[in-house]
Amino acid sequence: GAGVSQTPSNKVTEKGKYVELRCDPISGHTALYWYRQSLGQGPEFLIYFQGTGAADDSGLPNDRFFAVRPEGSVSTLKIQRTERGDSAVYLCASSLMDRGRYNEQFFGPGTRLTVL
């Protein structure tokens, strides 16, 4: 079956521009996560959705970052006024959300963002 997909796979932009990164989760997965992986580092949590609502956005670094999931499926991570330090691989993961049990997160291939 189809896994988590992310588009685009690569995005090059100029400092100060606005970008949108898209994540298509596995069908039926109600939980969706965004992570950011900078060069030489492990992935860092950004935001977590349960359905349409952001259940935890404590990892967003500042107010230039915003994410939505309007219909509880596809999610878009939006970055305003991009800075060179935003260059990283942005990973999306999805999972079921069966309460009281472990639910594996399945990761997409990531979007590599380069800010020149």
Partner 1 sequence: AQSVTQLGSHVSVSEGALVLLRCNYSSSVPPYLFWYVQYPNQGLQLLLKYTSAATLVKGINGFEAEFKKSETSFHLTKPSAHMSDAAEYFCAVSDRYGGSQGNLIFGKGTKLSVKP
Q: Could you give the CA distance from residue 87 to residue 7 in angstroms, rounded to a whole number?
A: 16
The window from 16-24, 62-70, 74-82, 96-104 that contacts partner 1 (CB under 8 A) reads 96-104
Query: Which stretches does DSSP call E strand in the chain?
Result: 5-7, 10-13, 19-24, 31-37, 44-50, 53-56, 65-68, 75-79, 88-95, 106-107, 111-115
Q: Please, which residue, 31 or 79, has the CB nearer to partner 1?
A: 31
Q: Please, which residue, 76 or 103, has the CB nearer to partner 1?
A: 103
Write down the least CB distance from residue 11 to partner 1, Å.
15
Q: Could you give the CA distance from residue 17 to residue 64 in angstroms, rounded to a whole number?
A: 11
Token couple for 3:
């896994």
CA 34 distance to own-chain centroid: 3
The window from 16-24, 71-79, 80-88, 101-109 that contacts partner 1 (CB under 8 A) reads 101-109
The window from 14-22, 39-47, 60-68, 75-83 that contacts partner 1 (CB under 8 A) reads 39-47
When asked if residue 110 is in the footprint of partner 1 (CB under 8 A), the reply is: yes
Which residues inside 59-88 make contact with partner 1, applying CB under 8 A? 59
